[in-house]
Chains A and B, each alone.
Chain A
Amino acid sequence: MHRRRRSRTLALAAVGGMLMAACGSGDDATEASDGLVVWYYFSGGPAEALEKQHELWAEAHPDVPVEYVQIPFEQLPSRLLATASTEDGPDVVLHNVPVDFPALAGAGVLADLTDYWNESEVAEQLPDNAAWRSDDKVYTVMSYTNLLGLYYNQNILDEYDLAPPESVTEFEAAMQTVAADGKYVPLAMAGAAGTAGAWNFMPLLLGRGVDYCNLEGEIVHEEFERLQRWTEQGFVPRDTSTWIGPDAWQQFFGGDVAFGINGNWNLGDARGAEWIGTARFPAGPDGSHVFLGGEGLGIGAFSDQQDLAWEYIETAWLSDEASLINFNTSGQIPTRTDLAEHQDLREDALVRPFVAAAGDSGAWPMNEQTAAMQQAMGAAVSAVISGQKSAEQAADDVIAEVADAREQGGSTC
């Protein structure tokens, strides 16, 4: 509390100074805020959760209204960058961390949250990897995470007397059984050129100890060959090469597909269908690892009420109540470590694999060109599934392109 008051006084002094410099243009420099502006892009369940979480803030601060601005996913970064060019922008922004973080942090549109993060009591409950850093400064924090798991159709598994697979080997054997009968499609996953394909394929590499930072060698070839086998043997339909997450989910949810690789945000749908079960992404020799995705919370660099914005983030997102509301409404997994054992999360069998996976994730490259790496990977995945490129060719290409991008982004990782 103390600290916060001090920084607020400092902020006030700064604002006061600016006003004096501007010859006291007449704006009132009182503490009364005319509200916060929050930008986000999601719809559906997560948006519903946002509305409910807002109630926590409304109770705590009835005098500070919040204006929520939904900007279409594709437009959010450009809009944010545009406002920055005029030193304007939102107080709080929820953005697509794994892809956008280096760009937004690097462009200077996000405020430095290091002090808030280090000094916040609420933040102590979050693991360190919930804070996203650039040059050792925190710019974004994640109150929840989204990740991939394996959905399965219990009816189909029963029909062939199969158990949910735990390893990639078991997984392939199961798909083989399903494919051999020809009645059902074994697997629905996303394989489109772009981040979707990369996001779905990478866990196979992560399971063998390879990520974007050490992407090279025989293992990459082997895993692309595996993917090629999946297409050739009909484990995945060729259309997979143009599917993004929702397309793949649509296929699986139709009921004629044995397995679906998809994210926890579909748990809402899954709870309504008693034939759906979940497991962790099938493990390779190195275990089961997936990337942590989801939105991060940042404060606009040009917000003049950053303290208030941080308070909003704590109250409406990082707090245990907020995290649980979010989880129960949308199925997004809280990052708070103290909630991992909470009964809401423990008792829900569908969620358990995702919660477990959240604690065992792969490492994103800390490189300005991370988006370019993911693009290259996605294009390779799509090329192999469609048959445009051989596994050999695609692996060679993607290794070279990722290395290029890494170097361009300053070789950090």
Chain B
Amino acid sequence: MNGRVIDTSPLAARPAAGRRQRSDGRLPRPWLAPYLFPALVVAGALLVYPLVQLARMSVSDVGTTTLISAWELVGLENFGAVLNDAAFWNAAKVTALLTAVLLVVDLIIGFVAALALTGRGRLIGATLSLLVFVWTLPPLVSGSVWKFLLSGDGGVNAALGMVGLGPVDWLSSPSVALWSVSLVAAWASLPFAILIIRGGLMSIPPDVLEAAALDGANAWQRATRVILPLLRPTLAVLTILLILYAFGSFNFVYVLTGGGPGDTTNILPFLAYQTAFRTYSFDLASAIAVLSMVVVLVLSVPYVLGVRKEQAA
């Protein structure tokens, strides 16, 4: 199996021989399609069909009794129902805040941490290993730990109590719970952000930085004027991936609050999941998922435009 898939890689694909003689006198353009071929095969075989089914469900009547029979087309009815539901708008609002917290924490702290963790030394090595180790723990476990630590009589309140503060209902106060959940989600994804940014940092050619240092730039100037612009593609992708993560993953909501108290932490992916697998309205859930996709696509317009610009450059 593995062998066959690897065989379709461009290494075995048709060489660009025939394309070499271009008459415009410029160097021949490489023929790139074969390099995309394996990815297209994988996507075509395993990713497109689920997407098509999702889209179909979102415009059909699919409930428990109809799931495995033929679906009746209902047009945009499901979207109408979802958009008229206060629960959807609440979830959209909640998701927006969680995404914002995630982005701010992961990008800013992630960048600073990646800079701080690029050097050598025992402390840095140990911290990196610890971060990665914690990141690999299943969300069920790391989330449960925070549920204990943030509970009314948990460790965080105990620590606050020692300095005469609190207690705070971290997970059960309607005004605080979403912040707690967002911060835990950010805490959990920060190691990922650090790894990505650090990988990007280490790929920056050293002479660029040396040149900047010779020009007398201080650490702050180098970070903001030299490194950040060079990391732009990496940070752009990371931003998109974090948005995807916020719109697609609900593990921490599930473990920490179950969407509560009330509906204050019920983010879109959790709402979609509940709608599909707790109340078995696959059609409405698909509509929610499709709407989330549209939002993410809109949010990634700058990224895609940026791609065109950098391609043109």
A and B touch in the complex (CB under 8 A): yes
A contact set with B: CB distance below 8 Å: 74, 77-78, 81, 84-85, 99, 102-104, 106-109, 192-197, 237-242, 244, 247, 368-369, 371-372, 375, 379-380, 382-383, 385-389, 405
Known interface pairs A99-B278, A372-B279; A193-B68 also in contact (CB < 8 Å): no
| B77 CB within 8 Å of chain A | no
**B255-285 interface code vs A (CB 8 A; 1 in, 0 out):** 0111111111010000000100111110000
Q: Which residue of A lies closest to B69 (CB)?
A: A108
In the complex, identify which listed stretch (B39-47, B126-134, B169-177) lies at the interface while the others stay far away.
Answer: B169-177
Cβ contact of B258, chosen from A77, A103, A192, cutoff 8 A = A192
Residues of A within 8 Å of B258, CB to CB, are 192-194, 196, 242, 244, 382
What would 6 A/B residue contacts be, using CB atoms closer than 8 Å?
A193-B258, A194-B258, A240-B172, A372-B281, A382-B260, A389-B262
- Complex Cα distance A102/B281, Å? 12
Most buried by B among A81, A107, A193, A389: A193
Cβ contact of B262, chosen from A81, A193, A196, cutoff 8 A = A193
* Residues from 101 to 157 in B contacting A, C-beta threshold 8 Å: 147, 151-152
Q: Which residue of B lies closest to A387 (CB)?
A: B174
**Distance (Å) between the CB of B284 and the closest chain A CB?**
10
Known interface pairs A237-B152, A241-B262; A78-B67 also in contact (CB < 8 Å): no
Cβ contact of A78, chosen from B64, B171, B261, B277, cutoff 8 A = B277
Cβ contact of A107, chosen from B67, B260, B274, cutoff 8 A = B67
CB-based contact A193/B261 at 8 Å: yes
| B218 CB within 8 Å of chain A | no
CB-based contact B68/A386 at 8 Å: no
CB-based contact B262/A108 at 8 Å: no
Interface size class on chain B is: 20 to 34
Residues of B within 8 Å of A241, CB to CB, are 172, 260-262
Q: Which residue of B lies closest to A382 (CB)?
A: B260
- Complex Cα distance A194/B171, Å? 16
CB-based contact B277/A239 at 8 Å: no
CB-based contact B279/A193 at 8 Å: no
Q: Which residue of A lies closest to B280 (CB)?
A: A103
Residues of A within 8 Å of B2, CB to CB, are none
**Distance (Å) between the CB of A186 and the closest chain B CB?**
14
Decide if the interface of chain B is mainly helix, strand, loop or mixed: loop
**Distance (Å) between the CB of A368 and the closest chain B CB?**
6
| B63 CB within 8 Å of chain A | yes
| B203 CB within 8 Å of chain A | no
CB-based contact B64/A386 at 8 Å: no
B contact set with A: CB distance below 8 Å: 63-65, 67-69, 147, 151-152, 169, 171-174, 177, 256-264, 266, 274, 277-281
Residues of A within 8 Å of B281, CB to CB, are 372
**Distance (Å) between the CB of B283 and the closest chain A CB?**
12
- Complex Cα distance A184/B79, Å? 50
- Complex Cα distance A247/B256, Å? 11
Cβ contact of B169, chosen from A107, A238, A375, cutoff 8 A = A238
Residues of B within 8 Å of A247, CB to CB, are 147
CB-based contact B68/A242 at 8 Å: no
Q: Which residue of B lies closest to A371 (CB)?
A: B279
Q: Which residue of A lies closest to B140 (CB)?
A: A72
**Distance (Å) between the CB of B167 and the closest chain A CB?**
10
CB-based contact A238/B172 at 8 Å: yes
CB-based contact B172/A242 at 8 Å: yes
CB-based contact A239/B67 at 8 Å: no
Known interface pairs A194-B259, A372-B279, A383-B263; A107-B172 also in contact (CB < 8 Å): no
- Complex Cα distance A197/B260, Å? 10
Q: Which residue of A lies closest to B281 (CB)?
A: A372
**Distance (Å) between the CB of B8 and the closest chain A CB?**
27
Q: Which residue of A lies closest to B151 (CB)?
A: A239
